[in-house]
Structure 1
Amino acid sequence: MSHETVYSIASGKGGVGKTTTTVNLGTALAQAGKRVAIVDVDLGMANLAGFVSLTPDSTTLHDVLAGNEPVEDATYRLAENIVAVPSGIGLDEYAETSPEGLRDVVSELRSTYDYVLLDVGAGISHETILPLGLADAVVLVSTPEPAAIQDSRKTIELTARAGGTVAGLVLTRTHPGSDISHPDLADRLDLPLLETIPEDSAARESVYAGTPLVAYEPNGPAATAYRHLAAELAGIELDEDDEADTTGEPGEPESTDTDTATAEHTDATENEDGDDSGSTAETTATDDISSAITEAESDH
């Protein structure tokens, strides 16, 4: 699947771990040395804004889609190799957006980054369906619960209507001792099972620590599964020896003496030496990081 570089991370219903999957998949790819952009395309109910500690006058995807700002001005660095393009949180700004502008945004980011992950909102609307057709493939996220699986069928149908394809299914919050057959669930949806993400107590701890799970508890079962998913999608092999060595891992958010993560606003382009071009302005991401993931997982 290494030829596919733009993925929409989607789900049929809320609360299944879609944003957590987006963040951890992106971070795992960044840890592997890939340049990654994660984009909050849930224009009405933004989840990623807290990751970059936006101020009221910060530039967001809303400004870009309103035709007021270039996408590089709405791009914020999370850690080494990974940036976020958040949507705004104001209803007035949302009302001025044109979802059709996502085509140009995705095209520009595709030319700059190795991987672009689109965090798609749940539900059925034009702005939800559009990203399903813009991506090279859709990664469908669900829990093993019957209602979540049933709603996944709707997302598969919507993807087909949007002209997109589904790469496969990721099942989250799974239990190894369960009598539920995960491959059978994927077969019912006529999809390959990309990965199962086991229930992991470290996942919630990482939320409150404001750090992606793959950096917070890199050797835990869920973090390991997310790295396997990244390897599957990127077509790369995992070095098991490197997995155990977390010293100086790329993708781990920087921290200050008060243990807050640092997000850096950066231009979307890089020069030939790999340095950021243009000026950067540093902002401090506080507990908003944790609340952003918490909100996402409760899904509005």
Structure 2
Amino acid sequence: MSHETVYSIASGKGGVGKTTTTVNLGTALAQAGKRVAIVDVDLGMANLAGFVSLSPDSTTLHDVLAGNASVEDATYRLAENIVAVPSGIGLDEYAETSPEGLREVVSELRSTYDYVLLDVGAGISHETVLPLGLADAVVLVSTPEPAAIQDSRKTIELTARAGGTVAGLVLTRTHPGSDISHPDLADRLDLPLLETIPEDSAARESVYAGTPLVAYEPNGPAATAYRHLAAELAGIELAGTADDTDADDNDNTGDNDNTDTATAEDAAGSETEDGNSPESTDETSATDDVSSAITEAESDH
């Protein structure tokens, strides 16, 4: 699958770990040296902003789609090799957006980064269906629960109607001792099973810490599974040891040229993209704010 570089990470329902999968897949690819952009295309219920501490006047994807800013203006550096393009959370800004502009956004990012991951909103609307057809392939995320699997069928159908293809299924929060056959679940959807992400207590801890799981607990079972998923999609081998996360531990800023922002990994970031130091902030307060935002986002999605 290494020829595919733009993936929509989608689910039939919220709360199955779609954003967590997007962030950890992107981080694993970045740790392997790939240039990655993750984009929150859930325009109405944005949650990726929780991974980038934004001030009220920060530029977001909403501004880009309203024709008031460039993609570069809304791009924030998370760590080495990885950036985020968050959507805004204001209803007024949302009302001014034109989802059709996503085509140009994806095209521009595709030409700049090795991989572009689109975090797609759940539900049925033009803005959630459009990204399914813009990507090279869709990664469908679900838990093993019957309701989640049933809703996944709808996403498969929507992807086909949008002219897209589904790369396969990722099952999250799985239990090794369960009597549920994960391959059988994938077969019911007529999809290959890309990866199973086991239930891992470190996942919740990483949310509160405001750090992607693959950096927070790199050798844990869920982090290992996310690295396997990255290797499968990219057609590469990932070392996946604790040493691989050194760059993230030492370089955890989130910013663009216009706004001093903190990332989920280091809310008090130390360096901007152009090498200038940002204004000093209260580290503890900023970290608490970001962690709270991430926790809220994960609870909603």
**What is the TM-score when the length of structure 1 is the normalising length?**
0.89
CA contact under 8 A between 2:208 and 2:294: conserved in structure 1?
no
CA positional deviation for 1:52: 1.6
CA contact under 8 A between 1:137 and 1:167: conserved in structure 2?
yes
* Aligned-residue CA RMSD (Å): 2.1
- Equivalent residue number for residue 73 of structure 2: 73
Q: Which runs of 5 or more structure 1 residues have no equivalent in the other structure? A: 255-260, 268-274
- Equivalent residue number for residue 263 of structure 1: 254
CA positional deviation for 1:278: 9.6
Structure 2 counterpart of 1:197, one-letter code: I
Structure 2 counterpart of 1:160, one-letter code: A
Aligned partners of 1:181, 1:37: CA distance in 2, in Å?
34
Aligned partners of 1:283, 1:73: CA distance in 2, in Å?
22
Correspondence list, 1:131-280, <5 A: 131-239=131-239, 243-246=240-243, 249-252=246-249, 254=251, 262-266=253-257
CA contact under 8 A between 1:77 and 1:266: conserved in structure 2?
no
Aligned partners of 1:16, 1:100: CA distance in 2, in Å?
27
CA contact under 8 A between 2:31 and 2:244: conserved in structure 1?
no
Aligned partners of 1:124, 1:290: CA distance in 2, in Å?
29
Aligned partners of 2:124, 2:279: CA distance in 1, in Å?
36
CA contact under 8 A between 1:30 and 1:251: conserved in structure 2?
no
Per-residue CA distance 1:217-270 (angstroms, 9 max, x = gap)? 00000000000000000000133xxx334266334474xxxxxx6312259xxx
| Residues 1:278 and 1:200: Cα distance change in structure 2 (over 3 Å) | closer
Aligned partners of 2:244, 2:36: CA distance in 1, in Å?
21
Structure 2 counterpart of 1:264, one-letter code: D
Moved over 2 A (4+): 243-254, 275-300
- Equivalent residue number for residue 20 of structure 1: 20
CA contact under 8 A between 2:255 and 2:273: conserved in structure 1?
no
SS at match of 2:84: strand
SS at match of 1:118: strand
CA positional deviation for 1:277: 6.5
Aligned partners of 2:150, 2:234: CA distance in 1, in Å?
28
Structure 1 counterpart of 2:246, one-letter code: E
Aligned partners of 1:100, 1:282: CA distance in 2, in Å?
36
Aligned partners of 1:186, 1:113: CA distance in 2, in Å?
30
Structure 1 counterpart of 2:105, one-letter code: V
SS at match of 1:168: strand
| Residues 1:105 and 1:205: Cα distance change in structure 2 (over 3 Å) | same
SS at match of 1:88: coil
CA positional deviation for 1:288: 3.8
Quick check: 1:105 aligned with 2:105?
yes
Structure 2 counterpart of 1:246, one-letter code: D
SS at match of 1:173: strand
Aligned partners of 1:25, 1:253: CA distance in 2, in Å?
20
Quick check: 1:44 aligned with 2:44?
yes
- Equivalent residue number for residue 291 of structure 1: 292
| Residues 1:282 and 1:231: Cα distance change in structure 2 (over 3 Å) | farther
**What is the TM-score when the length of structure 2 is the normalising length?**
0.89
Moved more, 245-254 or 131-140: 245-254
Aligned partners of 1:140, 1:251: CA distance in 2, in Å?
27
CA positional deviation for 1:48: 1.1
CA contact under 8 A between 1:207 and 1:290: conserved in structure 2?
yes
Percent identity, please: 89
CA contact under 8 A between 1:18 and 1:297: conserved in structure 2?
no
Q: Which runs of 5 or more structure 2 residues have no equivalent in the other structure? A: 259-271
